[in-house]
Amino acid sequence: MADADIPAHGGERVAAALAARGVRCIFTLCGGHISPILVAAKRRGIRIVDTRDEVTAVFAADAVARLTGTPGVAAVTAGPGLTNTISALKNAQLAQSPVLLLGGGAPTALQGRGALQDIDQESLVAPHVKFLKQVRRVADLGPAVEEALAVAQEGVPGPVFVECPVDLLYDEKLIRGWYADAAGKGTSLPDRLLRWYLGRHANRMFAGSGRPYAPAARAVAVPEAGEAAVARAAAALRRAQQPLLVLGSQALVAAEAPSVAAAVQRLGIPVYLSGMARGALGRDAALQMRHARRKALREADVVLLAGVPCDFRLDYGKHIRRSATLIAANRSRKDARLNRKPTIEAIGDAGRFLVALAGRMGDAAQHGEWIGSLAARDAEREHEIDAQARAAGEHVNPVAFFRALDQAAGDNAIFVADGGDFVGTASYILRPRGPLTWLDPGAFGTLGVGAGFALGAAVVRPESEVWLIWGDGACGYGLAEFDTFVRHGIPVIAVVGNDAGWTQIAREQVKMLGDDVGTVLARSAYHEVVQGFGAAGVEIRRAADVAAGLAEARRIAASGRPVLVNVWLDKTEFREGSISM
């Protein structure tokens, strides 16, 4: 179909709008309500990746959005197909991730009348998205998708939803025939009134659909902080003796990640990285600190939060001393003021703010003594971790395991984190290789993101080695997606930390309440489960087998086959007191 042609049906209009925006992949679980969208998108060269759970499709779209900076797209059927996505939608909302969810809907004339899978989808979805459109005319399908894709990226990014009722998606002749059959051929007054009503309804639905449709991608403006905020922040940093930067996910967008990293280096301020910002400076940047962040925040006289709110991850800002100058760079004014009113607000894109700030500052100030003291503290903690890694046990020490994995993973590795205790340990030890090579749920702390995130990462970064770090509890949410990995040739390397329990919860629960109820799992043979889906499985039960097991997993993945490594872990006290409130 040429851009100015008349689309054959509503599904083609949706596909045309997606293609005009450069969408390359739709994640989905099939359903009759959305079939025309999938078929039309496939014909336009858009890849269709079908999953085993709708929530996985949205998580995968979320990963695409985070890694590319452009909206990821998922399509699900009506009713239960949509309800299955809610956790992923809320996760994307709290992570400020631009995701477009296309949802099927019951026929427009039958909504609220007991049709199959007909529910009040607006009330269900509205709290979790920044834009919602329930389309009622075929001609409006394309413009609705165009608008949603733009809104997803504007201002504070987030998920958007477009409901596409089934009778808007199929071709007009078929739908008019369906309505004619529904009206029947009776001659009574009620029968004639029903035919008149349905005929008028169809006329309204198809009004304007005979005109050509030429989709256009709407430009999205990036919000930027004002010059006055940049100047005030620069002045504060020039006066600072012990400045500190905390860089978060919002500051790192794919197209600008290198310039943000360069700006951080030029500023010369010690930095802690969180969320998607992990890896922004590479593996061994001298300015990057990894440990004792609370203590550093207490000591700093100027704290710059770039794309990071004072939520539970920063102890609600209580460790930033009141006498310190607090600079908050954030697209969201609400987040900039959360729990602590900043001294200087820079409302706009945090990454661009850092670039502008570095340009105004000129050559980096000298903070050698301050950086040296933080680096010494880091080194001391690394020595402690080394000592913990040497502790021997019956199976595999998780600290030592991640030391080995950090050495084994390729320079092109992407790490996807999904779990509690095992993943928490990984976050201390694994060193992401570069910008946008670490994916975790974000502020919502959602378990179950792993399979979808890994799927999305592998689709947009096929040249990368994708490692899915799974707790044995978390893996239960997405283990069946190994079927998806196999069918679509996605060579993910999943590592399951098998300690037979929900260990992060059990630690504090047993200590405080004296009971492990609900926290005990089995040493399940997860590697055998994935073999049933056609993937490869590797089991590691002893420390001596770690290196060989990881090497085997990398070899299998390099051949194009997904693999799961089932690692039997020893219990450890590495993360005592890790419950967050």
In a domain, 419, yes or no: yes
DSSP class per residue in 158-202: --EEEEEEHHHHS-HHHHHHHHHHHH-S--SHHHHHHHHHHHHHH
Whether residues 489 and 550 share a domain: the answer is yes
- Report d(CA 147, CA 143) in Å as an integer: 6
CATH code for the domain in which residue 338 is found? 3.40.50.1220
Closest CA to 20 of 136, 134, 149, 130: 149
Q: Which domain holds residue 29?
A: 10-206
CATH code for the domain in which residue 168 is found? 3.40.50.970
Of 206, 237, 254, which one is at a domain's C-terminal end?
Answer: 206
In the numeric block, which tokens belong to residue 545?
């087998």
Whether residues 530 and 459 share a domain: the answer is yes
Q: How many domains does the chain have?
A: 3
Of 206, 240, 273, which one is at a domain's C-terminal end?
Answer: 206
Phi, psi of 445 (to 5 degrees): 60, 40
- pTM for this one? 0.94
In a domain, 33, yes or no: yes
Whether residues 55 and 133 share a domain: the answer is yes
Whether residues 186 and 157 share a domain: the answer is yes
In a domain, 257, yes or no: yes
pLDDT in tens, the chain (581 residues): 444 588 889 999 999 999 999 999 999 999 989 999 999 999 999 999 999 999 999 999 999 999 999 999 999 999 999 999 999 999 999 999 999 999 999 888 767 777 777 788 999 999 999 999 999 999 999 999 999 999 999 999 999 999 999 999 999 999 888 888 877 888 888 878 888 888 888 899 999 998 999 998 888 989 999 999 999 999 999 999 999 999 998 888 766 888 999 999 999 999 999 988 999 898 888 999 999 999 999 999 999 999 999 998 888 999 999 999 999 999 999 999 999 999 999 999 999 999 999 999 876 668 999 999 999 999 999 999 999 888 889 999 999 999 999 999 999 999 999 998 889 899 989 999 999 999 999 888 899 999 999 999 999 999 999 999 999 999 999 999 999 999 999 999 999 999 999 998 888 899 899 999 999 999 999 999 999 999 999 999 999 999 999 999 999 999 999 999 999 999 877 656 555 55
In a domain, 4, yes or no: no
Whether residues 123 and 236 share a domain: the answer is no
| Neighbour tally for 550: CB within 10 Å | 23
Whether residues 201 and 231 share a domain: the answer is no
In a domain, 188, yes or no: yes
In a domain, 384, yes or no: no
Whether residues 420 and 352 share a domain: the answer is no
Strand partners, 438: 415
| Neighbour tally for 203: CB within 10 Å | 10
Whether residues 412 and 548 share a domain: the answer is yes
Whether residues 553 and 469 share a domain: the answer is yes
In a domain, 215, yes or no: no
Report the relative pairing of strands 563-568 and 493-498 from DSSP bridges: parallel
First to last CA, the chain: 54
Whether residues 500 and 427 share a domain: the answer is yes
Of 370, 404, 428, which one is at a domain's C-terminal end?
Answer: 370
Closest CA to 306 of 371, 238, 245: 245
Whether residues 408 and 350 share a domain: the answer is no
In a domain, 219, yes or no: no
Whether residues 186 and 240 share a domain: the answer is no
